[in-house]
Structure formats: structure tokens, C-alpha cells
């Protein structure tokens, strides 16, 4: 991805503009895509290991025990080559289980993980090649939103993977547009394996976003630490609190940061002071939970149709197969 830096002071201009817009809006917001600096990525890796954050293990269980079922439902022919493309591949652990199953059954494919982080890609390369030294691997660094157009460059059949309930961090309308754009860049019969978290009781979801060790708190507040560092701001982190909530009716976990007092913060890179009331919230992320009805609604008029659904034993998480039909 092209990150725009101001050459004289090495400032990330996109970050500065989006932070300015977010803190100028009412209610205040900060974009969740900026969680993932080096510290934030390390914190997210730690979140994925937490007992409360059931999502990762639930999806790993699906790929460990049900990859064959997914493969059957993809209707692949062994003699036909295809490209397997993963958007936002992360650490790739779940995918390796799927790659192993495809290789065992002698399918003819290449694997292209796309991730914004070069480090993450190098890590995937190492892990995958250790287990599957003969795999055809092609790393692609970039923002997957921006690399969608690249898909059209090859006319080979494609299977795209978008796992980890990353779709859930988009508002429904944005998720719909994202699927539409993805489908537009694919061909008829291409497929999407979409991993999403399912609606369930608040008692299970709430701790996943408010763990007992406070790692999710640090992950959320790290956004302010990042703004302090990269935009020379003076957020007093002690004066802000991680305040997650779960709207059970809508099925949306909402992360926010609450200002503990009436205070002001100066951001030097923007040359602006922002004012916070006591108990005012800055919204940082939504994590949407789905059911078949919600997913169907989001898929409507995108060209994608749901053709299969596989869940973990507890039915906490699902991997759907969507096919491009129109």
C-alpha cells in the first residue's frame, strides 16, 4: 500500500487526516485500522491466545477437523489449477491446516497471502514452507481493499479466503460494498471462504472484548499511545478508560475509550486542541456478530450466493462458502 509520508517531518498524512476527522466528529471516533502498529500487532497476537477470545480457536477447530468438508463443497477438480488468495492473512496458522488438506489430496493450486505487514508475510512464508516445502507461494504486500483490482489481472479460477471475522469490523453497508467489489473482480464460479463470528449470548462475547488480563484494554488504548508517538500528541493515557459494550439485539460488540475527566489534548502534527467532556466516549471499533439472515442481507446484489456453512462444535463461529453466480 502507498502510505503517504510528509517528506520533511516523516509524518503519516493519512493517519493525521483521519485522526483529525474522527476527533472532530460527533460522537468522536478513531479508525480501528490504526490499531495495528508494531505494538498493536503484538497485542492482537496476544489477544488471539487469550482463553476469553474464543474466535481464533473456534475457527482453528473448523480448519483442523473440517477442511475436507470445506474442500468437498468447493467442487474443485483435481486436474484444474486454481489460485488460493488470502486477504489479510495474519499469522496463517488456520490456513496451514487447509493447505495441508489440499496438498494431501493432490490439488493443483498456488497460495497467495495478502497482508499489509511485510513482517507477517515473511513469517507466513517461513511457517508454510517448513510444513509444505513444495507449495507454490506468492506473497503480496498491500492493503487488501486496495489490492482487489489486482485479482482481475489473472484469468485463473480463484478461491479467496477472508477469515477471522475481519468482515465484522466493517459497518454492514461497507461490508456489502466490499463483497460487491470483491465479486466484481472475480469470475463466475469463483468462491469466497468467509470466516465470521456468530451471534450468541452476551456472557460469551463480552469477556472476549474485555479480558481479565487487560490485554484488549491495552490494545484499544494503544491507539492513543500511537497518536502521541506519531503525531506528537499529549494524551494522558491514565485519564482514559477502555469501555467495551455488547448490543445483544443487534449482535454488535462496540469498543470505545472513555474520557475520565473534562480535559483537552493537543496534537502537534495537526496543530489543534481537542476537548473531551467527562465520560465522553471515542468510538474505536465494531465487531459485528452474524446469523444466516444478516449475512444473506449483506450478500444481496453483490453477485455472491451462500452455498455452504460449516461451524465449530459449539456453533460459535462459521466458515461460509460463497459462490459468485452473477
**Contacts with ligand AVI, residue ranges (CB under 6 A):** 47, 55, 164-166, 168-169, 209, 216, 219, 285, 287
Nearer to ligand AVI, 18 or 52 (CB): 52
Shortest-Cβ-distance residue relative to ligand AVI? 287
Nearer to ligand AVI, 15 or 55 (CB): 55
Nearer to ligand AVI, 288 or 324 (CB): 288
Helix (H, G, I), strand (E, B) or coil at 241: strand
Nearer to ligand AVI, 109 or 255 (CB): 255
Nearer to ligand AVI, 98 or 219 (CB): 219
DSSP string over 184-214: HTS-TT-EEEEEEEBP--HHHHHHHTS-TTS
Q: Which long-range contacts (CB under 8 A, 24 or more apart) does 68-71 make?
A: 68/101, 68/105, 69/310, 70/98, 70/193, 70/308, 70/310, 70/319, 70/321, 71/101, 71/102, 71/105, 71/107
Nearer to ligand AVI, 218 or 232 (CB): 218
CB of residue 276 vs ligand AVI: minimum separation in angstroms?
Answer: 22
| Backbone dihedral angles phi then psi of residue 201, each to the nearest 5 degrees | -55, 140
Terminal-to-terminal C-alpha distance of the chain: 30
The residue among 251, 246, 254, 244 whose CA lies nearest residue 217 is 244
Whether 263 contacts 303, CB under 8 Å: no
Nearer to ligand AVI, 62 or 270 (CB): 62
The Cα–Cα gap between 186 and 153 comes to 10
Helix (H, G, I), strand (E, B) or coil at 236: coil
CB of residue 269 vs ligand AVI: minimum separation in angstroms?
Answer: 26
CB of residue 164 vs ligand AVI: minimum separation in angstroms?
Answer: 5
The Cα–Cα gap between 316 and 52 comes to 13
DSSP string over 251-312: TEEEEEEEESSSEEEEETTTTEEEEE-TT-EEEEEEEE-B-HHHHHHHHTTSSEEEEEEEE-
Whether 89 contacts 120, CB under 8 Å: yes
CB of residue 232 vs ligand AVI: minimum separation in angstroms?
Answer: 26
The residue among 164, 110, 117 whose CA lies nearest residue 141 is 117
CB of residue 156 vs ligand AVI: minimum separation in angstroms?
Answer: 29
CB of residue 32 vs ligand AVI: minimum separation in angstroms?
Answer: 7
CB of residue 257 vs ligand AVI: minimum separation in angstroms?
Answer: 12
CB of residue 51 vs ligand AVI: minimum separation in angstroms?
Answer: 14
Nearer to ligand AVI, 14 or 218 (CB): 218
Nearer to ligand AVI, 205 or 270 (CB): 205
C-alpha cell at 14: 493519512
CB of residue 58 vs ligand AVI: minimum separation in angstroms?
Answer: 12
Amino acid at each position: 500500500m502507498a502510505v503517504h509520508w510528509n517528506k520533511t517531518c516523516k509524518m503519516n498524512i493519512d493517519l493525521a487526516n483521519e485522526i483529525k476527522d474522527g476527533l472532530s466528529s460527533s460522537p468522536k471516533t478513531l479508525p480501528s485500522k490504526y490499531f495495528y502498529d508494531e505494538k498493536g500487532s503484538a497485542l492482537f497476537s496476544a489477544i488471539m491466545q487469550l482463553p476469553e477470545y474464543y474466535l481464533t480457536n473456534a475457527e482453528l477447530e473448523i480448519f483442523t477437523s473440517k477442511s475436507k468438508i470445506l474442500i468437498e463443497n468447493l467442487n474443485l477438480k483435481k486436474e484444474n489449477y486454481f489460485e488460493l488468495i488470502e486477504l489479510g492473512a495474519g499469522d496463517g496458522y488456520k490456513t496451514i491446516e487447509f493447505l495441508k488438506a489440499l496438498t494431501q489430496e493432490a490439488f493443483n493450486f498456488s497460495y497467495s497471502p495478502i497482508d499489509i505487514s511485510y513482517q507477517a508475510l515473511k513469517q507466513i512464508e517461513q511457517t508454510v514452507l517448513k510444513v509444505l516445502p513444495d507449495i507454490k507461494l506468492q506473497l503480496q504486500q498491500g492493503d487488501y481493499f486496495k489490492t482487489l483490482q489486482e485479482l482481475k489481472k489473472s484469468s485463473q479460477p480463484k478461491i479467496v479466503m477472508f477469515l477471522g471475522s475481519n468482515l465484522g469490523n466493517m459497518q454492514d453497508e461497507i461490508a456489502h460494498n466490499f463483497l460487491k467489489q470483491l465479486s466484481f473482480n472475480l469470475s463466475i464460479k469463483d468462491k469466497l471462504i468467509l470466516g465470521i463470528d456468530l451471534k450468541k449470548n452476551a456472557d460469551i462475547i463480552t469477556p472476549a472484548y474485555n479480558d481479565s488480563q487487560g490485554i484488549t484494554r491495552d490494545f484499544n488504548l494503544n491507539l492513543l499511545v500511537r497518536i502521541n508517538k506519531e503525531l506528537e500528541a499529549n494524551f494522558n493515557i491514565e485519564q482514559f478508560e477502555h469501555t467495551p459494550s455488547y448490543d445483544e439485539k443487534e449482535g454488535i460488540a462496540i469498543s470505545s475509550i472513555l474520557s475520565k475527566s473534562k480535559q483537552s489534548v493537543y496534537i502537534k502534527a495537526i496543530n489543534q486542541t481537542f476537548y473531551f467532556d467527562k465520560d465522553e466516549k471515542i468510538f474505536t471499533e465494531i465487531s459485528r456478530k452474524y446469523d444466516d439472515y444478516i449475512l444473506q442481507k449483506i450478500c444481496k446484489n453483490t453477485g455472491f450466493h451462500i452455498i455452504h456453512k460449516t461451524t465449530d462444535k459449539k456453533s460459535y463461529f462459521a466458515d461460509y462458502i460463497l459462490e459468485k453466480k452473477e
